Amino acid sequence: MDSHGQYEQQVVWTVVGTDIGPLLLAATHEGLVNVVFHATDAVRDKALERLGSRLGREPVEAPGSPLLAEAIRQVKAYFAGERHDFDLPLDWSLISGFNRQVLRELAAGVPYGSVVGYGDLAGRVGQPGAAQAVGTAMGANPLPVVVPCHRVVESDGGIGGFGGGLETKRKLLALEGVLPEPLF
């Protein structure tokens, strides 16, 4: 950060290669604000445009930013199997209300290597019967992987949906030992 608080006024981003493809990581001075799957050029550009519009600041590519350093380190350690929990400051400004409540409960209450049903998660936030709304909250999660929406599954044992694609969800659950590794 420069003497004028340069990073505090910015949204900074970088792309990190992972076993599930490139992830875009974006942060503000408050914390990690966005994780985007499959961050190829076209996906990245669209995500950055949307992020800039929502936050009122144009994101700046800054892979060396101190705001991103710890997030990069922890994401790499997670995919290397060396980290089971993320301990990062999070900027929740892209989500509010019920969705934020559900995602905070998910982040705090569903540990690595376990899963929870949509309905069970709804019950944990005092809204039994809101399983479909929990599904909507998972789809709106601006911080996938770090806020582990891949750990939310159907109560009948089905894998459920996933914004990053079902193959990505399967790989994340396999990484955590919940599912067997895909054969191919």
By annotation, the residues acting in catalysis are: 149
Going by C-alpha positions, the residue among 63, 56, 22 that lies closest to residue 41 is 22
Residue with tokens 């900027």: 91
**Rounded CA gap, 108 and 103, in Å?**
9
Contact yes or no for 16/23 (Cβ under 8 A)? yes
Any alpha helices (H) in the chain, and if so which ranges?
41-55, 66-79, 97-109, 118-124, 131-139, 166-175
CA 137 to chain CA centroid, nearest Å: 12
Q: Which residues of 131-156 are buried (b: 16+ CB within 10 A; e: fewer)?
A: bebbbebbebbbbbbbbbbbbbbeee
Structure tokens at 10: 């910015």
- Give the SS3 label for residue 92: coil
